[in-house]
Amino acid sequence: MRLVPRVVVLCLLLGGAGACTADARPSRPEAVDPLGADEVRSEAVRLVAEREAALVAGDRDTFLATVDDDALQFVATQARWFDNLAAMPVGDLRLELAGEGSAGDEDVEDDDDEEGELHLPVDFTMRLDGFEQRSVTQRLLYTFRQVDGEVVLVDDRDAEGDRRAGWLPDPWDVAHVVVRESGPILGLFDEETEPYATAVMSDLRASRRTVLAALPDWSGKVVAYDISDLTALEERTPMDVRETGGVAYPVPVRPGSRTVAAHRFVVNPAVAHDGLQREFLLRHELTHVALASRDDSSPRWLTEGAAEYVSRSHLPAEQQRLMAAYVLAYLGDPAPVLTDGLGFYADADASYALAAVMCTYLVATRGTQVLWDLMDAFTAARLRAGQAGPLTAPQVDAVLLRQVGLDQRGLALAAVAWAAAGG
């Protein structure tokens, strides 16, 4: 993630509820005999298949005909969701009843409750075609109700289950998305951020070239979100959302899985729409995307410092050193102390600045490859130690001494002295 260098105004836009366009249900002349539980269940199963076929075929009317048209809000969000998927490059669309006996199923209800509703867990799968190799599956909870002898869907989520699973909405779940594709870049915007889409896409293309120069093995494929709903950003940043320029994050193939389908990133519109900050922010986040899991075992100063370094790597080396000297002089601490873990973000200004200076110094004295070699060495050390958690400070020091001849403290001091001598 990237720190915003100065306070930005939080721009939280509360979206409208959307149009309620349901037709009045045609009145039925006579009462209809209610269906039995087995009939309701088999009808619900048929509706799941019908919805999947309609999604794949792009048949909006059939898809919406499965929804209770008295549930006005739900009809509106279902229509928006369908339209979003239709506008996006999606493949491998599937809606499947969650298999009995598979992991996590014990959490989900599959029964008639006291109100005569039927709850069925359904797995929704899709892939962002052309941008990501793997599909992503999420668990939905369909609620069916019998209305005038007809089975219809009245809800597709379970707030409690979503909270337990740590589910965070994607743009297509919370907004009417505006889709922009440019070669290997997929940008998702909403109606509020659309006016900035052209500028953001243009800077994404330029930023991608800079990051590819530093990390030539990267596929260069990017999925980026720039939307007004800040929930996904807020829940993923350890900092105040106003201080957060953006966050890159792994997307598991299904909630709780350790298998990663892709790395995506979300930007804070208040920062991404500021022309001065945007390019640095995009290069920083794209570096996280390009590195994917490669820096997962690295200390925080290396993951954030490397991203900061790449965000300035288009500048001449002298200017990079001047920037380092300037920032250190501004912070005014001749012997700054490194903090790893979440403590890194407690004094984020100082931490990001020191991390950037350390990585810029390493590259200036040893070449860009030193950063990626260090990340690989930390990964190997953690594998050798067979530990699930992060490396301890002594373990980090041992790797660093072997790779560059300095421990963390020595590296910080050397980097600060190098920057000061150049400024």
What's the closest the beta carbon of residue 324 comes to Zn ion, in angstroms?
A: 17
Question: Rounded to the nearest whole angstrom, what is the least distance from the CB of residue 202 to Zn ion in the complex?
Answer: 22
Give phi and psi for 220, each to the nearest 5: 80, 5
Using the rule CB under 5 A, give the single segment among 154-162, 200-208, 298-306, 318-326 that binds Zn ion: 298-306
Minimum CB separation from Zn ion for residue 420, in Å? Answer: 25
Tokens of 359: 């990585």
- For residues 82 and 249, which CB has a smaller minimum distance to Zn ion in the complex? 249
Question: Rounded CA gap, 375 and 145, in Å?
Answer: 53
Q: Which C-beta is closer to Zn ion: that of 186 or that of 356?
A: 356
Query: Is 132 or 304 the residue whose CB approaches Zn ion more closely?
Result: 304
**Residue 303 C-beta: closest distance to Zn ion, Å:** 7
Residue 145 or residue 288: which is nearer to Zn ion going by CB?
288
The string of DSSP codes covering 226-267 is E-S--HHHHTT-SS-GGGEEEEEEEEESSTT-S-EEEEEEEE
* CB-nearer residue toward Zn ion: 200 or 248: 248
> Which segment (31-39, 158-166, 262-270, 297-305) binds Zn ion by CB under 5 A?
297-305
- Burial letters 68-94, b for 16+ CB under 10 A, else e: bbebeebbbbbbbbbebbeebebeebe
Q: How far is the CB of 382 from Zn ion (least distance, A)?
A: 20
Cβ 12 to Zn ion, closest distance in Å?
22
User: What's the rounded Cα separation, in Å, for the pair 146 and 152?
Assistant: 6
The four Cα atoms 126, 129, 135, 140 give a dihedral, to 10 degrees, of -20
H/E element holding 98? Answer: none
Question: In terms of CB distance, is 1 or 327 closer to Zn ion?
Answer: 1
Does residue 363 interact with Zn ion by CB under 5 A? no
Residues within window 299-318 making contact with Zn ion, judged by CB under 5 A: 304, 307
Q: Which residue is nearest to Zn ion (CB)?
A: 1
- Report the residue number, 51 or 288, with the smaller CB distance to Zn ion: 288
Stretch that binds Zn ion, among 2-10, 14-22, 212-220, 404-412 (CB under 5 A): 2-10
Is the Cβ of residue 64 or residue 307 nearer to Zn ion in the bound state?
Answer: 307
DSSP 264-325: EEEE-HHHHT-HHHHHHHHHHHHHHHHHTTTTTTS-HHHHHHHHHHHHTTTS-HHHHHHHHH
3-state helix, strand, coil in the chain (%, to 5): 45, 15, 35
Contacts of 24 (CB under 8 A, 6+ apart): none
Task: Report CA 200 to chain centroid distance, whole Å.
Answer: 17
Look up residue 67 and give its DSSP letter. B
Taking CB under 5 A as the binding criterion, the range among 1-9, 89-97, 141-149, 193-201 that sits at the site for Zn ion is 1-9
Closest contact distance (angstroms) between CB of 304 and Zn ion is 5
Q: Least distance from C-beta 156 to Zn ion, angstroms? A: 34
Query: Nearer to Zn ion by C-beta: 1 or 416?
Result: 1
Give the relative orientation of helices 300-311 and 197-214 as an angle to the nearest 10 degrees: 110
Tokens of 129: 């075609």
- Could you tell me how many residues of this chain bind Zn ion (CB under 5 A)? 4
CB of 351 to Zn ion, least distance (A): 11
Asked if 323 interacts with Zn ion (CB under 5 A), we say no
Asked if 1 interacts with Zn ion (CB under 5 A), we say yes
Contact 191, 182 (CB under 8 A): no
Given the rule CB under 5 A, which residues bind Zn ion? 1-2, 304, 307
